Amino acid sequence: MHKDLNILVVEADHAKAQDILEALKEGGWTTATVIASAAALERTLTQQDPDIILIDLANPDRDTLEHLCFVSNARNRPVAMFVDQTDNAMTQAAISAGLSAYVVNGLQKDRIKPVLETAIARFSMIAKMQSELEAAKQALADRKTIDRAKGLLISARNISEDEAYSLLRKTAMDQGRKVIDVAAALVTAADLLQ
């Protein structure tokens, strides 16, 4: 399902890095790059565009966590972070930063595959919800613009709401445009004339 992902691993300990690569390989993921330092993350991301990032940190502080989430672009790709310990503030910061997975009690080889699969699924679910929310916001904004345009036509031509919408729709069809585009043009023109 997710076998061809390009995975970037941030792990300072060479032996742990090898365990992670082995676990990824066992999970069916063969394209992985390891960097030893979180400081190299930004440079590596400009050179590569990984599908998912796995970060292992012993005891991150809030600034490090937020910086890593910002640099890794956690809102635009799944990021799974393994930490040895945390507190409520760190957990809240991780959630706010958009991490797809924040796993406490360290990285264990047998947990890598299910955590990454969960991170990918969670990221996909959140991305879908965000997309649906943006579409709903746009539909609402479009509806308001169309309603305003209908109001302008009703006032200017002394016609009913249905007639105003029919006129917008006919004009859009005649011009090969969308109703929202015609409505937006009408609203813009009316604003200029005021």
Inter-residue contact 103 to 83 (CB < 8 Å):
yes
What is the C-alpha separation between 16 and 158, in angstroms, rounded? Answer: 75
Question: What DSSP assignment string belongs to 67-108?
Answer: HHHHHHTTTTS-EEEEES---HHHHHHHHHHT-SEEEES---
pLDDT tens for the chain, 194 residues long, are 456 788 999 888 898 899 999 999 988 888 898 988 777 778 888 888 889 989 888 777 677 777 777 777 777 889 888 888 777 888 888 888 888 888 888 788 888 989 999 999 999 998 899 999 999 999 999 999 999 999 999 999 999 999 999 999 999 999 999 999 999 999 999 999 88
Q: How far is CA 85 from CA 54, 99, 179, in A?
A: 17, 16, 55
- pLDDT in the model for residue 3: 60
* All structural domains of the chain: 6-107 (3.40.50.2300), 133-193 (1.10.10.10)
Euclidean distance between CA atoms 131 and 139, whole angstroms: 12
Whether the predicted model's global pTM rises above the 0.75 cut: no
* pLDDT of res. 1: 44
